[in-house]
Amino acid sequence: TNQGAPGIDLSLLCGGNVDFSAGSWLVPRICEALQYAHDQGVVHRVIKPEDILLDRSGAPKIVDFGLALLSDASTESRLTQTAQVMGTPHYMAPEQIEHPAAVDRRADIYALGVVFYEMLTGELPVGRFPPPSHKVEVDVQLDRVVLRTLEKEPRLRYQQASHLRTEVQSLSDPDWSPA
């Protein structure tokens, strides 16, 4: 069997009411993949459920780097232009619309926050939206984590996907500590 073959599209899980135990297992693994891309200097810019596939073992794979940005590349060698607004509107960080040239890894963290909110509630966090615990039965501590990923100001969000991974992992397993 081909264990590494992509299988299930994450959008199937974004109908809401995903048990936090499933989300707490999946989100840290997505963060690992995202952190790896960021460590290589790649900003995805359009993370959405359709861009996260689960292989047969349930491990997430981030796909579709068509609008990716090489964050440490010179302007002449970027994969796509930075002065253009690019992405899927509901998953775009505010700075992607307001200041497209200023987009960095924190835009991916924002988009992952949208995906996480959607996994938990079945809804997109549009306009003034309630914390996840006001929509579904989850620990209120999770609200702080999800809402931090969705901060309008990039400086107020998690600065690294690995930091988000640590927070989610520690909520699901209080005895867990990062290696």
Burial class (CB within 10 angstroms; exposed 0-12, middle 13-18, buried 19+) of 107: buried
Rg (CA), the chain: 16
Nearest 5°: phi and psi at 41?
85, 20
Is the full-model pTM beyond 0.75? yes
For residue 37, what are the contacts with CB-CB under 8 A and spacing of at least 6?
Answer: 43, 44, 62, 65, 68, 108
* Nearest Cα to Cα of residue 146 among 127, 118, 172: 118
pLDDT digits (tens, 9 = 90+) for 42-71: 998 889 988 888 888 878 888 887 677 776
Quote the longest CA-to-CA distance of the chain: 49
The answer to whether residues 12 and 75 touch, using CB atoms and an 8 Å cutoff, is no
Place of tokens 């989850």: 138
pLDDT digits (tens, 9 = 90+) for 5-41: 445 555 555 655 555 555 677 889 999 999 999 999 9
pLDDT at 112: 95
